[in-house]
Homo-oligomer: A and B are copies of this chain.
Amino acid sequence: MTIKAQELQVKTWLNTEKPLSLEQLKGKVIVVYAFQMLCPGCVEHTLPQAKKVHTTFSSNDITVIGLHTVFEHHEAMQEVSLRAFLHEYRITFPVGIDQPDETSPLPKTMTAYQMQGTPTLLLINHEGDLHAQYFGHTPDLQLGAEIAKLTLKRAEGSH
């Protein structure tokens, strides 16, 4: 019944010296925020939440990752624009650029997860299973509860 979270397909990683992978992060709870820099809802609600998750929870327990899933206005949201965006909005957690797909306007990870748009939130447990996938905004109260449950199971699992 548990579904293995598919590996992220990333063209370029920003805000990190080394590329990240779900495989390598196994053992931690992973919170992936799929967004577009020109998605108003992402800018107003989702990325501020991602920053709060990043500072509220211990980096020993969880990792916050941004995934730039450009599926429209491709020319408008190139890497150079994303870099300036991350700088101006003070986003310091790692952000991967979802691998473009020559055969589709949707990038590869977005297609693999059948995301319906942005923002999309992925919650991955410490064993690498996809615990939840939400399209649209998730309230802080609910998200805090879900992350806590996953970190508790992680703590139990490590005994």
Contact = CB atoms under 8 A, between A and B. Distances in A.
A14 interface: no
Copy number in the complex reads: 4
A93 to B, nearest CB: 15
A139 B142 contact: no
A10 B144 CA distance: 32
A3 interface: no
A88 B38 contact: yes
Interface residues on A, range: 35 or more
Contacts of A18: none
Contacts of A73: 84, 87-88
Interface residues of chain A: helix, strand, loop or mixed (majority): helix
Contact of A144 (B38, B43, B83, B144): B144
Given A43-B43, A144-B145, A75 B85 contact: no
Interface of A: 38-40, 43-44, 49, 52-53, 56-57, 72-73, 75-77, 80-81, 83-85, 87-89, 139-149, 152
